[in-house]
Structure 1
Amino acid sequence: MAIRKILTLVFILVMLAGCSTSIGFKTVNTTDMDSQRAEKLLKEDKRIKNAVVLIHEDRLIAGLRVNTFERFKKRKIAQELSKELEDMYPDLKVTVSADSKVLLETNKLIEKEDEQNYEEKMEKISALVKEET
């Protein structure tokens, strides 16, 4: 009987640990531009739970995860932040999306640390944003 309770507890703990997908706030910059302004903007916005920003050559891609009660306004939030980032970085092509696919793909690209393929992968991620429905 005691072994059954222990196994049940271990199973529940393993399931809870597997469900945690907290990315936090990540910023990767391969240029000489100041990325601190973008990071500060996203961290100070109370509507955002997680964000990943990648700045490479002439592109900036930001994937966002909004708080639970803001999810119905996530497209509007992404548009507002996109305008602010475009004002901060007028020389860059800015892509901002609150779609979880964009967040995960950008995070995966950053974790691979393969700078040779950044341009190609960033174009694919930008295409994902355009085909959002």
Structure 2
Amino acid sequence: MTIRKLLPLVFILVLLAGCSTSIGFKTVNTTDQDYQQVEKLLKEDKRIKNAVVLIHKDRLIAGLRVNTFERFKKRKIAKELSKELEEMYPDLNVTVSADSKVLLETNKLIEKENEQNYEEKMKKISALVKEET
């Protein structure tokens, strides 16, 4: 194959690989809490496209990405889910946000797989939710 035929193919493959930013639904639990309820709640909610949940010690952080037409109701959706999760897990400090920064930071924290820094980083992520943008 000549370079002229190979170059467009490589370009298209790189373009398609760059477009796949889907995180899906991830749940990491380092406690003895039952996380199946969280997964079920988030997967059954048709308004949510992606979600990352981290449960560690006395904290639960959920970062959400809502569907395109629901983006104007992001805060309302996050607030509703936060109330439901607080009812399910009354002994945990629940933080839910549909802000993409929280989703990405939580996902990055999970991928590093360093449980020693979870508590410190989770406090920073919770502070991100509380700050006004």
Structures share a fold, TM > 0.5? yes
3-state SS in 2 of match to 1:108: helix
Aligned-partner Cα distance in 1 for 2:110–2:14: 27
Query: Structure 1-normalised TM-score?
Result: 0.94
Residue type of the alignment partner of 2:40: K
> What is the CA distance between 1:5 and its match in structure 2?
5.0
Query: Structure 2-normalised TM-score?
Result: 0.94
Provide the residue aligned with 1:9 in structure 2: 9
What is the total number of aligned residue pairs between the two structures?
132
Provide the residue aligned with 1:77 in structure 2: 77
Provide the residue aligned with 2:39 in structure 1: 39
Calculate the aligned-residue CA RMSD, in Å. Answer: 1.2
Aligned-partner Cα distance in 1 for 2:65–2:13: 25
3-state SS in 2 of match to 1:13: helix
> What is the CA distance between 1:16 and its match in structure 2?
1.7
Aligned-partner Cα distance in 1 for 2:49–2:101: 15
> What is the CA distance between 1:10 and its match in structure 2?
2.1
Question: Unmatched 5+ residue regions in structure 2?
Answer: none
> What is the CA distance between 1:8 and its match in structure 2?
2.2
Structure 1: 4+ residue segments shifted above 4 A: none
Question: Unmatched 5+ residue regions in structure 1?
Answer: none
State the identity %. 89
3-state SS in 2 of match to 1:23: coil
Task: Describe the superposition over 1:36-64 as per-residue Cα deviations: whole angstroms up to 9, x where unpaired.
Answer: 00110000000000000000010000000
